Amino acid sequence: MIIEAGHYALVLALALSIVQASVPIYGYWRRQSVLMDMAQSTALMQFVMIALAFAALTYAHIVSDFSLRNVVENSHSTKPMIYKISGVWGNHEGSMLLWVLILSLFGAMLAVFSRQMTQSLKSLTLSIQAWISAAFLLFILITSNPFERIGMPPMEGQDLNPILQDPGLAIHPPLLYLGYVGFSVTFSFAAAALISGRIDPAWARFVRPWTLLAWIFLTLGIAMGSYWAYYTLGWGGFWFWDPVENASLMPWLAGTGLLHSAVVMEKRDALKIWTIFLAILAFSLSLLGTFLVRSGVLTSVHAFASDPERGVFILLILVFFIGGSLTLFAFRASKLRQGGLFAPISREGALILNNLLLTTSCATVFVGTLYPLFLEALTGEKISVGPPFFNLTFVPIFIPIFFLMPIGQLLAWKRGDLLAAAQRMTAALVIAIGFGLGLAAWHGEPALAALGAALAGYLILGSFVDIFGRIFVSKASAAQVWARASGLPLSAWGTAFAHAGVGLSLLGLAATGWGVEKIVSVRLGDTMDLGPWRLALTKIEPRPNSNFDALVAQIQILDGNTAVAQIEPARRLFKTRAMTTSEAGIATLRMGQVYVTIAEQNADQSLDMRLYWKPYVSLIWLGGLVMALGGFLCLADRRLRIGLGKRAATKIKAHSDPDPQSMAAAQ
């Protein structure tokens, strides 16, 4: 019964989304505000319905209802509860349901938190949002229905893929989808603006918090995914330039560009066409990512052909939304009036350069990811595009961004002074070079690592030069400094932290050059040297578990003769699927990590191991967190500022009696 209710709720959500997609637009056309207002209530109801459907599927997984095909294929009664719940989206159907759940969540949020928007912009945006959800709800109901029953329910399920039985599954996909789908809001805003033809700084102001929100989650999602791959895959890599990774990197690059160009539009009324284009691009790339992963086209062109239904459906959605929005763009973009004159060397100029580099690097990832597919489809020739390609193309295009980031922050709007900015950077540059040299003296070769570390140091320090200059004026007391620091807008802090986060990640990346790797065969009681540490194998033991059997190696990490940590790398044999997975043993010490994976025990009782010492490696992901923190600070600032108009108005009312005309203008 619960299952049927959930199924029914999903169909109702589709009906609601069709209403939401058509009625408000008709209302806009006919200037009927009652019809336009329907967008809000339908958006809220749609979210409630999809949430009900999602809850029903979750319930089926929790109680192991094996009359559902989806549960049979992805669950098992002995599976731990956390994986029964996260297993809901650990499969195709469930993950698509999560996708539309988040889509409708954004729609509902848009309906609730947009009181200041004009009615036409709001209803048009919600309407476009409903077009997207209608398309994906149709996709789910027609090709990937999670509520499909089977005639003869089996006693037991086939279990979730062991690799997915990891806490990462509970966090990573929701974060990533919040990012992907978050860009649907900016997309809808862009389409609504193109339809209505009204694009002004106020539009950019409404769009920015949504872009920020999507960007924050995408950043966290990518960082989390990278760390998950790092500790699961077992050879300590964290970024593989895999098509599925690239699919998430592309919207991130476009979204980062959008974040910056929207600032120019908001403050200076310039870059309108470009901002709209990026808003379309960011979500288009999210859709492309969904298509690439969902259709199976990445595994091989043949996998796509063997199950064309789903792939073709998503491809149609892709063509409809990207093609439609770009057509709209082509017709409307020329009508936009450009404002805001500025000199090439200015904050605007720096942000434009940032956009050029970000979009070019995004295009590089795009070409590198899709080229093998095109070449094979056209000529049948198979090539591989791997990390060496991206190191030669993406990296050199991206590095200038690191140099520019701190300088751009120091340039004034309209007309900046490059020389003055460079002078203010001198101290940061000198300290950074000293930092790089110090690390080189300590860790030695390779020189590239020291160079990268110096660049990272410059970036981290440089991100705070602007704030530093605004807080520390000569002869200021501590109290004054504190007052100045807390008086700065949160977005200034946000920018500094987000940029410094990039620097932290870069430092972690650079330091991989100083890593130590050993491949050894070890017996019980042996000790091995690894970088500054000594590792001792103290125990090898089998450990049975509810749904897998593990072989665990216990390793003590010694600093000199004192034990500082203990790790337990393991191999797990999952009974239901007869699959083995490797669990790395990881200890974080001094921001670096000792990382050990083991193989099966050899016949002579020795154990083959791969040992790594990765200095400062945790900074890579810590940097991601700091970037997201910066985003949150900017977001917090936005909310304050959006409320500012209202508070100022009430204050004036209390003090004087303003003429009604200016009050009307204020509202």
Partner 1 sequence: MKRLILPVFSLLTLILLAFSTPVISPALAVEPSEILADPKLEARARDLSAQLRCLVCQNQSIDDSQAPLAKDLRLIVRERLMAGDDDAAIMSFLVQRYGDFVLLKPPFKIGTLLLWLTPFALLLLGALGLWRLALSRAQITPVQSEALTETEEAELAAMLARPKGQLGQKDG
Of 414-443, which residues contact partner 1 (CB under 8 A)? none
Rule CB under 8 A: say whether 67 interacts with partner 1. Answer: no
Question: Considering beta carbons, is residue 10 or 634 the nearer one to partner 1?
Answer: 634
Instruction: Give the number of residues in contact with partner 1, rule: CB under 8 A.
Output: 113
Piece in contact with partner 1 (CB under 8 A), picked from 125-133, 359-367, 558-566, 614-622: 359-367
Minimum CB–partner distance for residue 45 and partner 1 (Å): 26
Applying CB under 8 A, which part among 182-190, 275-283, 532-540, 658-666 lies near partner 1? 658-666
Nearest-approach distance from CB 341 to partner 1, in angstroms: 6
Indicate the burial class of 569 (C-beta count within 10 angstroms; 0-12, 13-18, 19 or more).
Answer: buried
CB neighbourhood size of 130 (10 A)? 29
Question: 287-314: b or e for each residue (b if 16 or more CB lie within 10 Å)?
Answer: bbbbbbbbbbbbeebeebeeeeebbebb
Q: What is the DSSP letter of 30?
A: H
- In angstroms, give the least distance from the CB of 614 to partner 1: 15
544: β partners: 549
Cβ pair 358, 257 in contact under 8 A:
yes
Cβ proximity of 336 and 272 under 8 Å: yes
**Residue pointed to by tokens 């059997």:** 549
Q: Which is nearer to partner 1, 21 or 137 (CB)?
A: 137
344 part of the interface to partner 1, by CB under 8 A: yes
User: Least Å distance between CB 34 and partner 1?
Assistant: 29
Q: Does 306 bind partner 1 (CB under 8 A)?
A: yes
**Residue 92 binds partner 1 (CB under 8 A):** yes
Q: Which stretch binds partner 1 (CB under 8 A): 118-126, 375-383, 432-440, 615-623?
A: 375-383
- Listed in sequence order, the residues at least 6 apart from 140 whose beta carbon sits closer than 8 Å to its beta carbon are 10, 93, 96, 97, 100, 146
> Does residue 463 interact with partner 1 by CB under 8 A?
no
Tell me which of 8, 59, 320, 389 binds partner 1, using CB under 8 A: 389
- Give dist(CA 373, CA 291) in Å, integer: 14
Which residues 6+ apart lie within 8 Å of 225 measured at CB?
168, 172, 176, 245, 248
- How many helices (H) does the chain have, and how many strands (E)? 22, 10
> Is 486 an interacting residue with respect to partner 1 (CB under 8 A)?
no
Q: Spell out, one character per residue from 121 to 160, where the chain touches partner 1: x when CB under 8 A holds, - when not.
A: ----------------------------------------
Q: How far is the CB of 491 from partner 1 (least distance, A)?
A: 4
Amino acid at 115: R
- Is residue 162 a contact partner of residue 267, using CB atoms and an 8 Å limit? no
CB of 19 to partner 1, least distance (A): 29
Of positions 7, 79, 172, 272, contacts partner 1 by CB under 8 A: 172
Which of 200, 564, 608, 625 touches partner 1 by CB under 8 A? 608
Distance between CA atoms of residues 64 and 76, nearest Å: 7
For position 341 contacting partner 1 by CB under 8 A, the verdict is: yes
Q: Which 209-238 residues touch partner 1, going by CB under 8 A?
A: 221-222, 225, 228-229, 232-235, 237
Instruction: By CB under 8 A, name the one of 248, 256, 325, 354 that touches partner 1.
Output: 248
Residue 643 C-beta: closest distance to partner 1, Å: 10
Q: Which is nearer to partner 1, 338 or 426 (CB)?
A: 338
Which residues in 489-528 contact partner 1 (CB under 8 A)? 489, 491-492, 495, 519-521
- Beta strand 527-530 pairing with 533-544: antiparallel
**169, containing H or E segment:** helix 167-196
Alpha-carbon distances of 581 from 174, 236, 401, 447, 600, rounded to whole Å: 24, 15, 39, 37, 11
Which one among 308, 312, 319, 382 touches partner 1, defined by CB under 8 A? 382
